[in-house]
Amino acid sequence: MRNDAYEALLAHVRETAALESVAGRLGWDQETVMPRGSALQRAEEMAAMEGVLHARRTDERIAEWLDAVEPEGAVAKAQVARVARAHSRATRVPADLAQEIARVTSVSQGIWAEARAADDVAAFLPTLTEVIRLKREEGAALAQGGDPYDALVDDYEPGMTGADIAAMFGALRPRLVALRERVLGAAKQPAPLEGNFGSEAQLRLARDVAAAFGYDFSRGRIDIAVHPFSSGSGNDVRITTRVSESDPFNCLYSTIHEVGHAAYEQNVDPDYLLTPIGQGVSMGVHESQSRIFENQLGRSEAFTGWLYGEMRDRFGDFGIGSARGFFGAVNRVRPGYIRTEADEVHYNLHVMLRFDLERALMRGQLDVTDLETAWNDRFKADFGVAVDRPSHGVLQDVHWSVGLFGYFPTYTLGNVYAGCLHRALRADLPDLDARMAAGDPSPATEWLREKVQRHGALMAPREVIAQACGFEPSPEPLLDYLEAKFGGIYEV
């Protein structure tokens, strides 16, 4: 009977996972190829799908199966624990609220995109106000008397709280700010990349780089989106990128970043397909994969040396005369406006800004009408420059429009995890640079597949990282890496 209960439970959640994949594909379609005039209909479709999914997640039989089952072995125990957690959270959120969030955030995404294109904050604020109202309501339902923001963070990084995040940021900020001041004040400043780089040639190179980093095109594809993202799991994992003819690094490193996410999903043990553990365990661990692919590997001196040759072959002379100079251009430190284009020194400062603002929004300590001013004031204080237009400021990210409150801190947590993984990876692969210099990061990507990706959600987030590294995660490896790398580039 108990085994029958486990099989019935797994059959139910597999079917739910399949339907979630369908809903995810609707989201991918909306951000890539959906006609603009379809937005309101798509919102109704998404709300309908969420209604079906919520009913399945809160099905009374799940509690009965959970009471009856006695899982044996690590895999079964992990499956049951994930189901129990998801069921507990789903039953706290009323069905009509879940559907309304799906409906409003589907429409909000399009309104945000148009407002961003027009640099019109006022056009977005009424919708954002509604999204925040709904997410506050959801957070309160999940928290059951606790901190609503903590409850939302727990969706993306189980066990993490706002206080944990604030402590992590407190440990990072002093050394990051000190490094930034040394670098920006250095006598040696790398020259920037300049020129015109054709879109089609960029996309061809991006596809080649994606394949080199292990992206399986037989189970995925690359499309264009305003905000690059990865979507799906298992045997259908799609990514997007964007192209600027004056900035090929935007396309190339957005692609490598999203391949890190996609590789995680493609490399989970196939026996876990469409089960609760058949996906990345948390967004922090997910970001560790995308960030280590993009930065520690993709922006390393060895790999950029290979990339320099490829770009010269494909685009001709673009004014940088050496691989060392190209390495400096790839890693040039500037206090820019855009998080996704930020260098490694400034990136986490962008995340800290968003964390503080969204936490205040969720707690009712910041009104939506004051958000733009709060953003601009904080940006000037942290980066030393004034925001010149909303698309470079409060309108630049898609996350708040689709209700992803509590998501931003996982970017920095992912950087911290990536720093730990990189230290362990380098200890295990002392000859890695020789392969990277030939355009072959496979020893590193295979190490990550074996140590992290194949496990899916079998273990808790910190447990995955600690087991892979052989030590408990902390900010020090990331800070040590940044100081060594940029100290060398800038000779400070």
Catalytic residue set: 258
* Integer angstrom CA distances of residue 67 from 43, 71, 75, 142: 36, 11, 18, 22
Residue 455 assigned ligand-binding role = no
Nearest 10 degrees: Cα torsion 457, 458, 459, 460: 30
Residue 261 assigned ligand-binding role = yes
Tell me the C-alpha distance between 41 and 36, whole Å: 11
Residue 257 assigned ligand-binding role = yes
Residue 176 CA, distance from chain mean position = 21
Tell me the C-alpha distance between 140 and 118, whole Å: 34
> Quick count: other Cβ atoms within 10 Å of Cβ 387?
19
Type of residue at 474: S
Tell me the C-alpha distance between 229 and 393, whole Å: 20
Phi then psi for 112, rounded to 5 degrees? -60, -45
Question: Do the bridges between strand 236-241 and strand 222-224 make them parallel or antiparallel, or are there none, so unpaired?
Answer: parallel
Contact 16, 274 (CB under 8 A): no
Phi then psi for 237, rounded to 5 degrees? -125, 110
Contact 251, 202 (CB under 8 A): yes
Tell me the C-alpha distance between 211 and 86, whole Å: 34
End-to-end CA distance of the chain: 67
Known binding site for Zn(2+): residues?
Answer: 257, 261, 287
Known binding site: residues?
Answer: 257, 261, 287
